[in-house]
Amino acid sequence: MGSELLEKATFKRLFLQMLSAQSFNLAGIMAGTMIATLSPYTATNPWILLLLPPLLTVRGNIGGILSGRLSTSLYVGLVKPTFRNNTRYFYATIASTLVMNFIFSVVIGVFSSLINVAQGSGLSLTDSLSLSILTMMTCATITTLLFTPSLAFSSYRRGLNPDTILYPFTSTINDILISAIYTLLVLAKLFWSGLFTALTLILAPIFAGATMFLTLRYRREEAFRETFREGFPTAILLTFLSQITGSFLSQLEDQISAYPQLLAVYPLLIDGTGDIGVVISSATAARLALGYIEPRMSSIKGKEGRKVVLSSLIAGFTLTLSATLAVSSVYTPTLLQVARTFLTVACAEFLTAAPIVVASFALTIIMFRRGINPDNVTIPMITSFVDLFLTMSLFIASQVLIF
């Protein structure tokens, strides 16, 4: 069935599926709106903006690994499109995803605490760990056990390409959940410290115990070990990059104060731009696995390579820039402010898109030629670099066009 799906994947069909899937990114405005409610407290609590990008980035990385592995595994038959009586590969993949979420929530908590201490922001290690673990693991439990597999199975059974649908949908759901959970936890910490402490004492041990159980049960499974062997070292490196992203976002405080719509569209921007790279990588990995393209860079000029790249780019730009224009019109009273916001976002998007397209295709080819599963390495690298490059580009463009 995987070969049949690729044979039917014309440019028009791919574009319409990507446009439909990425249109769900518009829901990412909800995530930005929720985060924007914390803006009155960021001046006295700078750790709020510093901790957000690592949570969004790393959760997106791990969700991207799961999305890529499920879509490719469905094509090649390693996973069946059903929850019941599925393969050991499927259950081990789910387990490894949950375990990685817990490990990196701890890593984020520790790194963020160290940066907060260096900056004198006053967030303790305990609070940093609590915010990170509770946010990441609550989101991961919902998406990993329910949403992502359900969407992968249903799209595959209906003859739709999971490569073009799965990650755009799940990345947006992740952003909304992360933003909602993080916002509620931050408000609880600021105004209801007793509730925040109670949630930590109840949920943190549950998540830790579940992580230990899954590790002991699936540690000998190849799918479980493959995730950590190939994905873990990359994720560690990219966690450092996400902390740099957080530092750049915290430097946008003046621009965000004057143009709050920048924060409102921020999750949508990183989500939509990341989708472009991830869809290209995931679709390329599936075509490499089935022999539809050769593992060399020149394949990007071929029919299969061109239609994947162009359909993803056009769909992503159309929706992201249209949404930015609409949001700017709501937030700002003058045409000049709308134009400045739109141009700032457009410049940041174009500065980021070109290198990401090339990197997505090239990294997938390189990993495939070295016998490494591209879904474990390429997708998290792409999402992390998109978050970093887009935030840096947004910072540069805002300095030129706004101030």
Question: Where along the chain do its domains lie?
Answer: 2-401
Which residues have a Cβ under 8 Å from the Cβ of 317 and sit 6 or more positions away? 349, 353
Q: What is the pLDDT of residue 7?
A: 45
Grade residue 1 by pLDDT with cuts at 50, 70 and 90.
very low
- 31 vs 96: CA distance, rounded Å: 27
Specify the DSSP class assigned to residue 333.
Answer: S
Q: Which residues, in sequence order, are CB contacts of 292 under 8 Å at separation 6+?
A: 6, 304
Residue 76 class from Cβ within 10 Å (0-12 exposed, 13-18 middle, 19+ buried)? exposed
- Where b means 16+ CB within 10 Å and e means fewer, 139-176 reads bbbebbeebbbebbbebbeeebbbbbbbbbbbbbbbbb
338 pLDDT higher than 90: no
Reported as a single tens digit per residue, the pLDDT across 84-119 is: 788 888 888 888 889 888 988 888 888 877 777 766
Contact 312, 279 (CB under 8 A): yes
Dump strand ranges (E) for 155-289: none
Residue with tokens 């059974």: 157
Average pLDDT over residues 376-391: 74
Judge contact between 358 and 348, C-beta under 8 A: no
- Between CA 327 and CA 262 the distance in angstroms is 9
pTM: 0.71
Q: How confident is the model at residue 3 (pLDDT cuts 50, 70, 90)?
A: very low
Of residues 238 and 338, more confidently modeled = 338
Sole residue written with tokens 């070292």: 233
pLDDT per residue as tens digits for the range 349-372 = 788 877 888 888 788 888 878 777
User: Residue 6's pLDDT is what?
Assistant: 47
Amino acid at 57: T
- What is the total residue count of the chain? 403
Element (H, E) at 110: helix 88-119
Average confidence (pLDDT) over 57-71: 75
